[in-house]
Structure 1
Amino acid sequence: MKLAVILLLGLAALAVAGSLYVRLAPLPMADPGDRAPRFPQFEGDPGGFGTTLRTEDPDAAARLDAVIRATPRTRLLEGSLAEGHLRYVTRSLIWGFPDITDVLLRPGEIHIHGHLVYGRSDLGVNRRRIEGWLAAVGL
């Protein structure tokens, strides 16, 4: 009985430590020498999703930024519309696992890529999130 209690307390301590690590560990930031991210190939990225949109709508990026910022558990990490690069973090509800989303603005194009920080597969979460944002903006 005593061993079972010790094991349960040990497992609980590991769960708390893991949760604290996920929530408090530093997040990846863009290279300070080059604020524009190097977007990986979007195909075959099991831990994320990315797409490039072509639009001549001058307000599309600002509307997208507003929709992203209104998403629960999402905040801007760095960048601005004026800089042409924004990096956001969205955390999962229970454990607080972070997903990073980069938005790169170029004349007539919006590149958006979301990816997980921990693990190998996001189970399509980034794709659904990004497609939801784009649908909300009408892109």
Structure 2
Amino acid sequence: MGIVLLAIILVVIAADAWVRLARIDPARFSVEGLAKPTGDHPETGGFQAVREVAEPQAQMTALDKIIRATARTRRVEGSPEAGQAAYVTRSAFWGFPDVTTLWVDGKTVQIRGHLVFGRSDLGVNRARILGWLDEAGL
């Protein structure tokens, strides 16, 4: 009985380490060909929101500040000054990563969040993105 329990604990620890330490393919940070028209766009395993704004660069800077203040979130690529940035937000318990990309396309601010593992994010990316946009007044 003790050996089985130990084996289960070791499997859980290994799975947790794999999720937390697995390298995220940098191709997931690319926004090439992902721009969409103004509106909300649900996706399998994610969500994209596009807002037309008067000053896209200023809005991107404001959103970057809000995103970086989110728990368990860090910017992993780009910057507002570059016009494109990528972030990874990890779930509290298992540390599952979601990738969010934020970029300016013409007069729009585009923000897209998607899971890295699995098929369904259970609406987490939509809620997170809409919360950020609401906080930014968009």
Unaligned runs of 5+ in 2: none
Aligned CA distance change for structure 1 residues 63 and 75 (closer, same or farther; 3 Å)? same
2:37 is the counterpart of 1:39: no
1:33-67 CA distance string (max 9 Å, x none): xx544428885623101111110135211110000
- 2:99 is matched with which residue? 100
Q: Distance in 2 between matches of 1:92 and 1:114?
A: 13
* RMSD between superposed Cα atoms in Å: 2.1
Q: Tell me the matched-pair count.
A: 134
Q: For the Cα contact (< 8 Å) 1:30–1:37, is it kept in 2?
A: no
Q: Which runs of 4+ in 1 moved over 6 A?
A: none
Alignment of 1:10-89 (within 5 A): 10-30=7-27, 36-39=31-34, 43=41, 45-57=43-55, 58-89=57-88
Closer, same or farther in 2 for the Cα pair 1:44/1:31, shift >3 Å? Answer: closer
Q: Is the 8 A contact 2:41 2:49 kept in 1?
A: no
Match of 2:110 in 1: 111
Q: Distance in 2 between matches of 1:62 and 1:44?
A: 24
Which amino acid letter does the alignment assign opposite residue 45 of structure 1?
A: E
Aligned-partner SS, 1:49: strand
TM-score w.r.t. length of structure 1:
0.88
Q: 2-side partners of 1:36 and 1:44: how far apart?
A: 16
Q: Partner amino acid for 1:49?
A: F
TM-score, with structure 2 as normaliser: 0.88
Percent identical pairs in the alignment equals 43
Indicate the residue corresponding to 2:5 in structure 1. 8
